[in-house]
Amino acid sequence: MKKIALEEHCMSPGLEEYWRPTMSLVPEQVFKPIYARLTDFGDLRLGEMDAAGIEKAVLSIAGPGVQIEPDTARATYKAAESNDFLAAEIQRRPKRYEGFAHIALQDPKAAAAELERCVKQLGFKGAMINGQTLGHYLDERRFDPFWAKAEELDAPIYLHPADPVRMYDGYGDYKVLMRATWGWGVETGTHALRMIFGGVFERFPKATLLLGHCGESLPFMLWRFDSRAKALYGVKMSKDVSQFIVDNIAVTISGMYSREPVDCSIAALGRSRVMFSADFPFESIREAGSFMDDVAMDEDLRADVAWRNAAKLLKIKMD
C-alpha cells in the first residue's frame, strides 16, 4: 500500500540549538542515529521511506525551533531562512517530499505573512506549530491574524508536542513521564482544547488543526467533554465540543501503531479524518509502514488512511 507520511521531521542549519535540549534525557547512543537521520535528505531517509512503502513525506522542522527564541526579529528571520532551506531540499526531490512551514509566532502578523509566502511561493502544504510560544497559546486573540490567514489559504496547521511553560509537579522524580512518554500528549491535548473552548473555531470555522498520536487522546474523550462542560460548568457554544473536534480536527497515527487507538480514532472522527504518519526519525519507520500494511482493516479504508485522506486534505498530487 502506497503511503503519504505527515509527521516526518528534519533539521535545518542554525536550529539545532533549540532542539538539542529536548533530547537531554536521551542516551548518547540513541541520540546519534536520530540526529543522523534528522539531518539527512538523501539516500538514508529515502531508503527508509522505500522500505516502509512511503511514496511522499511531508517534512517539518523538529521542534521547538524558533518558537522559544525571545528575540522576535531573530526568530522571524531564522524561520524564513529555515523555510528557504527546506524548500530547496524539497525541490531536489519534488516527487518524494512536501513541506510544512516553520513559523515564528512572536509576531502574529509577520507569522501570517510568512505562512502566505510559504504556501503561495514555496508550495508548502500548511505549517507545523510546536506547542506554546514563549508562554502564549494559540487560543489567544493575539493570534487571530494567523488563524485568519490559515483559514483564507485553506492551510492546515499541525500542532506538534513541545514542553509546557512549566513542568507538572506531579511528575516528581519520574522524568520518563515529562515528554514523549506522557507529558507532551497531555500538553498538546490541553492546547487543542484551549482552542476549542477559547472560540478559535467559532471565529474561524473553516480552519483545520492537525494532531498526531491519534489525536493526543481527544477522540477517546468526546462524550465526557460534552457531558462535563455542559452539566458541570454550563459552557455554551454554537456546537458541542465533540462536534468542533470532528469538524475542525484531523489526526495522524504517528507513534500509535496499535489497532485499538486507530480503530477508536476512526470511529470517533470518521474515516476521512485519520491519516498515516511515521514520526521519522523518532519512531521506527519500518514498524510504522508494516503496521499500516498489516493491521486488520478493509482495503478501501486502508487506502484512505494510508494516503487518500492526506492527498485530499493537503492537495498533494500522486502519480
Q: Which three cell numbers stand for residue 37?
A: 537521520
| SS3 of residue 4 by DSSP | strand
DSSP letter string, 36-89: HHHT--SHHHHHHHHHHTEEEEEEEEPSSGGGG-S-HHHHHHHHHHHHHHHHHH
Residue 248, phi then psi, degrees to nearest 5: -115, -5
Helix axes 241-248, 183-197, angle to 10 degrees: 100
Q: Which residues pair with 127 in a beta bridge?
A: 101, 157
Q: Is 279 among the residues known to form the active site?
A: yes
The conformation of residue 177, written as its DSSP 8-state character, comes to G
C-alpha separations of 303 from 24, 71, 291, 298, 307 in Å:
38, 44, 13, 9, 6
β-strand partners of 160: 130
Q: Phi and psi at residue 317, in whole multiples of 5°?
A: -85, 130
- The four Cα atoms 243, 247, 253, 257 give a dihedral, to 10 degrees, of 30
First to last CA, the chain: 14
| Catalytic one of 139, 163, 279, 304 | 279
DSSP state of 308: I
Write out the catalytic residue numbers: 279
